Amino acid sequence: MPQSKTIVLIGTTGASFYGFRADLIKRLVKEQHVVYAFTSEYTDHCLEKISALGAIPVCYQLSRGGLNPLADIAALLQLIQKIKQIKADIVFSYFAKPVIYGSIAARWAKVPLIIGMLEGLGYTFTDQPQGQSLKTKVIRNIQLMLYRLALPQLNKMIFLNNDDRHDLLEQQHIKVAQSYILGGIGLDLSKYPYTVAPIEPIRFLFIGRLLKEKGIFEFINAIRLVKSKYPQAQFTVLGEIDHANMGALKQQDLDQLLQENLFEYPGYVTSVQEWISKSSVFVLPSYREGVPRSTQEAMAMGRPVITTDVPGCRETVVDGVNGFLVPRWDARALAERMCFFIENPEKVNQMGQESYKIALSAYDVQKVNDKLLGIMGLTN
């Protein structure tokens, strides 16, 4: 077994550690490494849950959004001081701003191994039907300037899909010592058991924040098209409105849609398994992703997928095998593929079996963490 290391994980929300890093943290702790979890958005309950995983929570100040240079410089200085005090062997940052400031801080603190992971490039790299706004373009240019400063400080950079690596590193001519494609952060597959999909009636499921970039408006338009032909088709939307996001579905519009009985809306739920098991087909018409967790969850439970032919989403579907890829922003094409499953219900579980096989091969968190520990130099 490799020598015990002191590892700093730098994120933002406390929930991201026990929601998406729990298996990695438990694995590192089990292998006798000391793990610190740096969080800038937290509650006492969050910190307790991080501690329960075996990690040591460390609080720091960093705004996820916003462009306040003085506040960001203060966060950078704080990170340098805390990392020096800990005497970290490895700093592993994820999300855009932690990767930027965590990487620079780790280099100044003379950390031997500095790793960054971007699970998607975010809205500044996401094409829009009407083109990007001037504000988005300005933010993208500032972000690129910061990436050009930060990413060369890394020893290793991890992406979930090759499009992200190409669009950020190759197109922007940013040098990184080594880069890797992870292919998804993985799932504890025992928590997402395979189930046979119901097909009478066919029920379509969308999971995601109710944002323009997630394709919620295309999904709604496609529902109208499908229901005009097959009124018995059923639809469920899981997710919350992000009131701070300009591209979010408005509450009054959602209320009107619910009055029309266009779809079932339980809102935000903490456990999606029950809803996936009641669904027939998973639909995510997103504009861009890393590798969407919701799609991985649906595939693990044996559901075919209809998604867009865009970075991150296209990695999850072999077109015509475990589902379909449709052009982005195209509600009509989306509706046509939904109608295919209504007209060919035997294909639901046939394609769902193929999704399940892909999930076993690609999304098992144990296999994903084996890759991560290899990148971190923590395997024999």
Question: Which one-letter amino acid corresponds to residue 76?
Answer: L
pLDDT at 195 over 80: yes
Cα–Cα distance between 226 and 299 in angstroms, integer? 23
What confidence tens digit (pLDDT) does each residue in 310-356 have?
999 999 999 999 999 999 999 999 999 999 999 999 999 999 999 99
Nearest CA among 274, 275, 196 for reference residue 235: 275
CA angle at residue 112 from 40 to 37, to 5 degrees? Answer: 25
What is the structure's pLDDT at 380?
Answer: 67
What pLDDT score does 66 carry? 66
Mean pLDDT, rounded, for 159-167: 96
HSE (side-chain half, CA atoms, 13 Å) at 320: 0
Beta-carbon contacts of residue 328 (< 8 Å; ≥ 6 apart): 127, 215, 285, 287, 308, 309, 310
| Domains of the chain, earliest start first | 6-186+364-375 (3.40.50.2000), 189-362 (3.40.50.2000)
Rounded to the nearest integer, the mean pLDDT of the chain is 94
- Per-residue pLDDT, 242: 75
Q: Would you say 119 and 160 are in contact if contact means Cβ atoms under 8 Å apart?
A: yes
220-278 confidence digits (pLDDT tens) = 999 999 999 999 999 999 988 877 666 788 888 888 888 888 999 998 888 899 999 99
List residues bridging with 234 in a β-sheet.
203
Q: 230-265 burial string, b = 16+ CB within 10 Å, else e?
A: beebbbbbbbebeeeeebbbeeeebeebeeeeebee
Asked if residue 168 has pLDDT above 90, the reply is yes
The arithmetic mean of pLDDT across residues 40-46, rounded, is: 92
Residue 204 φ/ψ, nearest 5 degrees: -100, 140
Which residues face 117 on adjacent strands?
Answer: 94, 158
Closest listed residue to residue 189, CA positions, set 362, 375, 15: 362
pLDDT of residue 244: 64
- Mark out the alpha helices in 303-364 (DSSP H runs): 331-343, 346-362
Report the pLDDT averaged over residues 356-364.
97
Start-to-end CA distance of the chain, whole Å, equals 6
The helices-and-strands tally (H runs, E runs) of the chain is: 14, 13
User: Listing from the earlier edge strand, what are the strands of the sheet with 90-94?
Assistant: 56-59, 34-39, 6-10, 90-94, 113-118, 156-159, 179-181
Q: Does 58 score more than 60 pLDDT?
A: yes
Reported confidence tier of residue 36, pLDDT bands at 50, 70, 90: very high
Greatest alpha-carbon pair distance for the chain in Å reads: 65
